[in-house]
Amino acid sequence: MVGTPGVAREGDPGPTARADEHGPVQATLLRALGVLRFVVLANALVLYALRAGDYAHPRLGWVVVAVLAAWTVVAVWAYGRRGWRRAPLLVADLVVGLGAIALTPYVKGEGFTATLPGFWVMGVVLAWAVVWRAPGGLVAAVAVSVTDVSIRDDFTQANYGNIFLLVLGGAVVGFLSILLQQTASQRDAAERAAAAAGERQRLARVVHDGVLQVLALVQRRGPELGPGGAELGRLAGEQEVRLRGLVQTGSRELVGPLGERDLARLLAELQDAHVQVVVPGTPAVLPAETAGEVVCAVESCLSNVRHHVGRGAPAWVLLEELPQAWVVTVRDEGPGIPEGRLEESAAQGRLGVRQSVVGRLRDLGGEATVRSAPGEGTEWELTVPRHPGRSDPS
Q: Report d(CA 85, CA 72) in Å as an integer.
A: 15
Ranked by mean pLDDT, the top range of 22-31, 72-81, 177-186, 199-208 is 72-81
pLDDT of residue 329: 95
Indicate whether 113 pLDDT > 60. yes
Q: How many residues does the chain have?
A: 394
Q: How many CB atoms neighbour CB 329 within 10 A?
A: 18
278 neighbors 318 (Cβ within 8 angstroms): yes
On the CB side of 24, CA atoms within 13 Å amount to 9
Alpha helices in the chain (DSSP H): 23-51, 58-79, 87-102, 104-108, 121-150, 157-209, 211-221, 227-255, 263-268, 288-308, 341-347, 352-353, 360-363
Q: What is the pLDDT of residues 234-271, one digit of tens each?
A: 777 777 666 666 655 554 444 444 578 899 999 999 99
Tell me which of 197 and 378 has the higher pLDDT. 378
Amino acid sitting at position 13: P
Position with higher pLDDT, 279 vs 17: 279
Tell me what the mean pLDDT of segment 205-223 comes to: 70
The pTM assigned to this predicted structure is: 0.50
Instruction: Return the sign of the alpha-carbon dihedral for residues 65, 66, 67, 72.
Output: positive
Q: What is the mean pLDDT of residues 70-85?
A: 92
- The answer, yes or no, to whether residue 309 has pLDDT greater than 80, is yes
Asked if 114 and 4 touch (Cβ cutoff 8 Å), the reply is no
Q: Is the pLDDT of residue 317 over 90?
A: yes
For 262, list phi and psi in degrees, rounded to 5. -90, 105
Residue 15 has pLDDT above 60, yes or no: no
Given this model, what pLDDT does residue 98 score? 93
> Contact, 384 vs 286, CB < 8 A?
yes
- pLDDT at site 66: 95
Q: In sequence order, which residues have a C-beta less than 8 Å from that of residue 83 and are 6 or more positions away? A: 19, 20
Percent of residues, the chain, with pLDDT higher than 70? 80
* Structural domains present in the chain: 23-188 (no CATH), 215-256 (no CATH), 258-394 (3.30.565.10)
